[in-house]
Structure formats: structure tokens, C-alpha cells
Amino acid sequence: MQYISVIGSGTMGNGIAHVFAQNGYQVSLIDINAAALEKAIQTISKNLDRQVAKSLLSEQQKVDALGRIKTFTVLAEGVSNADLVVEAATENMSIKLDLFRQLDAASPAHAILASNTSSISITKIAAVTKRPEKVIGMHFMNPVPVMRLVEVIRGYATSDEVTKTVMDLSQKLEKVPVEVNDYPGFVANRILMPMINEAIYTLYEGVAGVTEIDTVMKLGMAHPMGPLQLADFIGLDVCLSILRVLHEGFGNPKYAPCPLLVNMVEAGFKGAKTGEGFYQYTAGSKDLVVSPRFVKR
């Protein structure tokens, strides 16, 4: 396996492209937006610079990694020689199904089609292709260059051979792959999202404030980041989307999103990426400032 195509140049997509290129693979990074691709390359370059500054890479290794990445705005051109395609588009079912129909038609017959989805059914995605045995989940964690876990999700029809190939490939990227079966939320988000949702309910019901809730989880449970700060980091819209997948998939009211979360997303307060969620975020500042909406008056 030599040629990797990555669909989507956002936070996850550029991180995935970075890791493959750093480990010697030829990468095609694909996005319909040329400006987004340019920004992605700048982000990858900055992240590689950080690794050089920490003596994790040499300057030449950085140059070589960047040289392995080519960008495309036309999907068919970007996947024409792919051995593996990793889709990292927005967490939206209809978008992913449409993409996989296109990928199935445009990719070489031998290519494995993987999704970085954090909750959407691999089995459902695979069903729109003519190669369901070659469709698999490859769920990287954010930030991809730093986090070592890869959830490898087997769809109902995913073959043993394809699963082994992706498990082995993940190890070559110096990641730790964990094989899981295809049920809503897989493992990571089936456990994480109800915890985040419960933290939001705890705030919503007035049990404690933002700082207090996060402090309890950081100091009491040794979490590096409190659940409300983590929700902001992930994106409140992404959290809401995953909870809805869990709620619909299991039909269990325990997965119902907290009304506060729904209201915040509908109002456009989606966390760090919009500048405000449970905390306020100012460019260039690392101070953790609680949103005025949650400060007692």
C-alpha cells in the first residue's frame, strides 16, 4: 500500500494527511474548496514545525513529508490511483453516502474505502457501494498527529483481510488500533458522549457551574480536560450530531441530547471553532474564560 487519498481538508482531514505523509506514504488531499486546501497545507506545515522544534523530526523530514502531499479539487483525479481512501468529511449521513457512491465509482477496484466517521454506521455506508467487503471505519482521534488511538470499525460485510490490512497499517503509522464492531457510537463515543451530555444536564439543572463541573472531573477522575471544555474542543454541533445518532440508533431516551446543548447549537455557539461555547475563546490566548452566559450574576 503506497497511495492514500484523504477526502476533506478540515481539522481531521489535514491531520490524517499529515500522519500518512510523515510515515512515507504518497497522499492526495481532496477538497472542493481550493482555499481550504491551501489553509490545510499551512496547518500541516506549522504542525510539522512544532515537531521539528521538539526534535521529533528533522527539517529534511518535514520537507519530505510536505513533498508527499498533493492537493486536488476534483475527486476523481484525487482517487485515481488510491490504494486506500480515508473520508473525513462533515459528520452528515447524506453527505457521506453520496461521497461513497462517488468513491466507489471513481476509485480503483482494489482500493479500500475507509470512513473517519465518529458515529455513523459503516454498514449503511458500505451498502451504497459495490464493494461492501472493502469498506471499513478508521476513526482517528483529534489532534491526529498527537493522539495514538485509531478505532477500526468492521461493518457487517467488512472482510477479515481488509480489517487486518487496516489494523497493520495503523500500527505502521505508530498508532494503536482497536477493532470494534459497527453499532451506534462504536466504543469511544458511546461512552464519551453520554458523559458529556450528563455534564451539560448537570449545568442545565443548576447542580454546579461550568468551572465546578470540569474541576470535579479533572481532579476527581484524573481527566486531562473537563467534559464541558472537551465538548467545546470537539464542537457542540458534532456532539449533538453524535447524540442524535445514538438516540435514533438505540431508541433509548438516555441518549436524548440535553435541551441546553440543542439551544446552544441552534444559536450558533458551537465551542472553540466559533469563539464561544461553555467557554470564550480569543485568538492567541490560552486562558480558559467561562462564557458570560454561565457566570452567576
When computed from its CA atoms, the radius of gyration of the chain, rounded to whole angstroms, is 20
> Distance between CA 297 and CA 23 in Å, rounded?
52
Residue 190 CB partners (closer than 8 Å, separation 6+):
183, 184, 246
Give yes or no: 151 in active site.
yes
Beta bridge partners of 180: 153
Residue type, 190: R
Residues 6+ apart with CB under 8 A from 15: 47, 140, 142, 143, 144, 145
The 8-class DSSP code of residue 110 comes to T
Choosing from 139, 170, 197, 241, which is the catalytic residue? 139
Instruction: Tell me the pairing of strands 3-7 and 26-30.
Output: parallel
Catalytic site residue 139? yes
The DSSP output letter for 257 is P
Alpha-carbon torsion (175, 72, 31, 283), positive or negative:
positive
Q: Is 297 exposed, middle or buried (0-12, 13-18, 19+ CB in 10 A)?
A: exposed
Closest CA to 31 of 87, 80, 84: 87
* 7: phi then psi, degrees, rounded to nearest 5: -100, 115
47, 118, 119, 241: the active-site residue: 118
Check if 263 is active-site: no
Beta bridge partners of 72: 30
Q: Which residues are catalytic?
A: 118, 139, 151, 189
